[in-house]
Amino acid sequence: MTYLVLARKWRPRSFDTLVGQDHVVRALTHALTTQRLHHAWLFTGTRGVGKTTLSRILAKALNCETGITATPCGVCQACTQIDEGRFVDYLELDAASNRGVEEMTQLLEQAVYSPSVGRFKVYMIDEVHMLTGHAFNAMLKTLEEPPAHVKFILATTDPQKIPVTVLSRCLQFNLKQMPGEAIVGHLEQVLGAEEIAFEVPALRLLGQAASGSMRDALSLTDQAIAYSAGNLTEEAVRGMLGTIDQRHLVRLLDALQAGQAPAVLEIADELATRGLSYRAALADFAILLSRIAIVQRVAQAIDEADPLVVDIKRLANSLQPDAVQLFYTVAVHSRSELAIAPDEYAGFVMACLRMLSLSGAAGGAQQQVVPQAVQATTAPVSAPAASMTPQKSTRVAPAAPSPKQVTSPVATQLPPKSATKAESTVSNPDASLSEPEAEPEPEFFSSDDLDYSPEPVFDQADDAQYAQAPSKPVSDTIVLPEPWAGFSAKLPLSGMAAQLARQSECVQVSGRTILLRVATKALTEGAHADRLRAVLTEYFGFVVQVTFEIGAGQGQSAHAVDQAAQAARQQAAEKSVKVDPFVQALVKDFGAQVVPGSIRPGHASL
């Protein structure tokens, strides 16, 4: 006996067995019950949501031998033949292969004749948006005023391509995508009737892969039955679909949170060994982050039946909300970058390393210099001297004309009142090792109270590099070294992050927060805003919060200043050309004229 695939075998035969389209079923049922029948219906929706199934059920309801009813019997000649696709008065036309005006004219010429055996002639035109413009025009009159025995059912996946003149002549029903729980419930019924063993998590994977299409879900189930030899386990379905085990993603997020780059590379290698898609991995990772972000804001929104409920709660409590948003942004944008990456492995690894870099979780000697120096210079004098040992990269330079006085670069930023013996400990760590616990120092000091160490010797190149290094203020509040227009232009940024800094104006600086005004909202979205925060955090030595307001600028941004300077140079150049004696002579003697827009600043004069 020929095997019938599940999608055809379990196609709904009546309205009450249709899944996920209750709003359409309700409207059609009431119309059939009250005999308020329209002459044309339009069903829209993505593939596999029930457009053809609804048209067949509606055709049976119109031609059932028991009468026009919302519950066709399913056993009469009309019902059985419509289910089998051989009812003479029910015609399914594929507009993708019959899209010309000739085919439409032939169909309309046959529509004038009475039905052969049924009550109505029902024409079902699938993918109606594929018809040509002339074909649409040919059917307009008949579609508006068809014979009493003719009903039209149109179906399409792209209603935007249907002329409004056709839409206005039909009752339009938009079929929704199947929710995941509805797909899982239907698959449970089907597999139970087929007596096939299954696991509910495996059905959830099939429902997710179907993307709202019941037909796709049943087709994937057929494939999974063959793949797993009739035992639908989660492991077998995951292997067939090539989906990512969510535990790998939890491990990846833990590694990113801890700043463990080796663990990140290990997980990437595991995915490569299993032959899994990195694009799908980034998509699933973004979904996991979205679930964590939702739980952080709405704790009761978590699904207790989720197998990752414990990990999601743990990560929601341990991760910072801004880190979750940052990881999500990088994951979403990196999916599109995989197409231009050398290979998917490199693109995935670079996406993970970008998360580490932007979040500041990677850690390293260079990143730890400033925090430890700040701790050393601001710690209480009773702290152990070992905690005040400067890093290897800490440089010292003369802070006064005296050749003996040497301080650390962090200590030179402190006000005179806050200078403590910790400063001398940084300058001479050997001396502090033999001293007992220090007594509280007086509030004011003289220069004799400080211990000076011999000035270390550096080569000329190191001195020049250190002299050009920007000083980082040590305080709890932001103090801009110069107006924002000049300061933002000097930040080590590029691309969209540099444009965000240059085209913004500083509205207010409060504590560790900077409020910037930006004319375009698009500049404040994406990873470039996080890059600006990271650069400012690195410069000031503490976490800087950057907020934005959208509004017209007042000409105080670096971009506006540059534009004004360029306009001034252009005006000066035009003025100098205008008063140039040689140009005046050419104008006077030969009737010459200066072409507008041809003058550029900086060009040599004629």
Domain boundaries, the chain: 6-174, 180-241, 246-359, 383-468, 484-556
Pairing assessment for the beta strands 406-407 and 397-398 based on DSSP bridges:
antiparallel
Chunk the chain into consecutive blocks of 10 residues (it has 606) and report each block's average pLDDT, rounded to whole numbers.
Answer: 82 90 92 92 92 93 92 91 91 88 88 90 92 91 91 93 92 90 91 90 87 90 90 86 80 90 90 84 90 89 77 89 92 90 91 87 37 39 38 41 38 39 39 43 42 44 42 64 86 84 86 85 78 86 86 81 82 83 83 79 53
pLDDT at 476: 67
- Report residue 86 as tokens: 């051989």
pLDDT at 475: 57
Q: 221 with 190: CB under 8 angstroms?
A: yes
- 417-457: pLDDT as tens digits: 433 333 433 344 444 344 444 444 444 444 444 444 444 44
Q: 257 with 316: CB under 8 angstroms?
A: no
pLDDT at 360: 67
Domain 180-241 identical in fold to domain 484-556:
no
Q: 11 with 18: CB under 8 angstroms?
A: no
What length is written for the chain? Answer: 606
For residues 363-392, b (16+ Cβ closer than 10 Å) or e, as one string?
eeeeeebbebbbebbeeeeeeebeebbbee
- Rounded to whole angstroms, how far apart are CA atoms 421 and 430? 14
Which residues contact residue 451 at a Cβ distance below 8 angstroms, ignoring those fewer than 6 apart?
A: 421, 424, 427, 428, 431
3-class DSSP state of 85: coil
- Rounded to whole angstroms, how far apart are CA atoms 458 and 464? 10
**CATH number, span 6-174:** 3.40.50.300
Read off the DSSP letter of residue 446.
-
- Rounded to whole angstroms, how far apart are CA atoms 552 and 561? 15
Read off the DSSP letter of residue 42.
E
Question: Concatenated DSSP letters for 165-232?
Answer: HHHTTSEEEEPPPPPHHHHHHHHHHHHHHHT-EE-HHHHHHHHHHHTT-HHHHHHHHHHHHHHHTSEE
Q: 333 with 369: CB under 8 angstroms?
A: no
Q: How far is CA 534 from CA 367, 475, 543, in A?
A: 12, 18, 8
**CATH number, span 180-241:** 1.10.8.60
Q: 43 with 54: CB under 8 angstroms?
A: yes
pTM to 2 decimals?
Answer: 0.53
CATH architecture of structural domain 246-359: Up-down Bundle (1.20)
Task: Check if CATH label 3.30.300.180 holds for domain 484-556.
Answer: yes
